[in-house]
Amino acid sequence: ARGYRFPGGRVLRPRRLILHSIIGASLHKRWFPWLMRPRLIRRLIQRLVAASWMQPIWERRLFRQREAIPADLRRQFFADYGRCAAFPVFFDLITVDWYRRTRDKIQTEQPVLLWGGKERVVSARYLELWRADLPQATIELVPDWDHFPMLDAPADFSRKFVTLVTE
């Protein structure tokens, strides 16, 4: 069972499974996970993402409304990406086999898949694969969202999540 056990034994159980712009169903079709197999490439990409001289390029690629995100937050985002210990191992963990095991575990749930209509990192064209693999899921395409709505449009993002969690 999913949940979080607090000291003292109390367990917090989630009421809904909400997945946002997730990879998995598309792993076998995307070139980026294939590219990221060698650890040397992972380290190089991580350094390039964190490099201050590359920030304007990454901002155009990752943020739909970058002007709405405070400059210090954008700088911190990229600096933290450079220090993120999970990044180099992410591509060892998120595999086609992992996806199949995870998909099988959530077959009895009613997940909500949230996707941005303007998503450029994990394209909405992969939604058809999710529909085939999780026919019981509710799929919501949010027209103005890109890959990081929690940064581009934090008020909209939090409203959407609060609404879904409290339904």
State the pLDDT at residue 158. Answer: 94
In order, the DSSP letters of 4-54 are EEPTTS-EE--S--EEES--STTTTT-HHHHHT-SHHHHHHHHHHHH-GGG
Q: What is the pLDDT of residues 59-97, one digit of tens each?
A: 998 888 889 899 999 999 999 999 999 998 988 998 889
Q: Which residue bears the tokens 């997940």?
A: 111
Three-state SS for 117? coil
Domains in the chain and their CATH numbers? 4-166 (3.40.50.1820)
State the pLDDT at residue 121. Answer: 82
- How confident is residue 124, by pLDDT bands cut at 50, 70 and 90? confident
State the pLDDT at residue 1. Answer: 55
What's at 94, amino acid-wise? I
Q: What is the pLDDT of residues 88-119, one digit of tens each?
A: 898 899 888 988 998 898 888 889 999 888 88
CA distance 103 to 99: 6
CA distance 24 to 98: 8
* Terminal-residue alpha carbon distance, the chain: 21
- How confident is residue 156, by pLDDT bands cut at 50, 70 and 90? very high
**Dihedral sign, CA of 111, 115, 121, 127?**
positive
CA distance 119 to 160: 16
CB 39 within 8 A of CB 88: yes
Q: Please give the average per-residue pLDDT across 121-138, as a whole number.
A: 86
**Conformation bin of residue 43: beta by default, left when phi > 0, alpha when psi is -120 to 50:** alpha
Q: Please give the average per-residue pLDDT across 10-21, as a whole number.
A: 84
